[in-house]
Chain A
């Protein structure tokens, strides 16, 4: 079974530029999560999708961050404009409600963003 795929793996941009990250969850997983992991901290949930609907985006800085999952499969997270403090690893995870393993989130390798 293929895992969660993310691209790109690394990205360097200057502040005020825009950037987008892509995630393809495990096949059949209805729930998709985006996390931000700042160096030295644990991952922090940014947004959670159930199919193509948003379940929780309470910690998403909506003035600059946006995310979509139009067809309920892959997802894109965008930052526009980027700030220095957005430098972090952005992790995508997926889970499958109603399968008996719905509590377990499976993570992708992450996208490491550096904002200069």
Chain B
């Protein structure tokens, strides 16, 4: 099945810093989503972005489907941005619509 790799695995920032999280995938995709898992374990939908660029406040994401990667940008980070960020993809070569998740990036933003 499709492979998803996220980097870096861990990231520690000072409040106000910017960061870029990367998601590489091994095959073409129909769907790519970014999630933030908060301290209570909830998965918060950030972006549905199988291709192109989207922005939502301090967060933006870009997916270059032809080169099989996606980037999540966090600007002016805040302590509330801490948590695990997951990338999940649906491979276009599979018959179903399951999402395959990466291992995640653990982000810690210090005050």
Partners in one complex: no
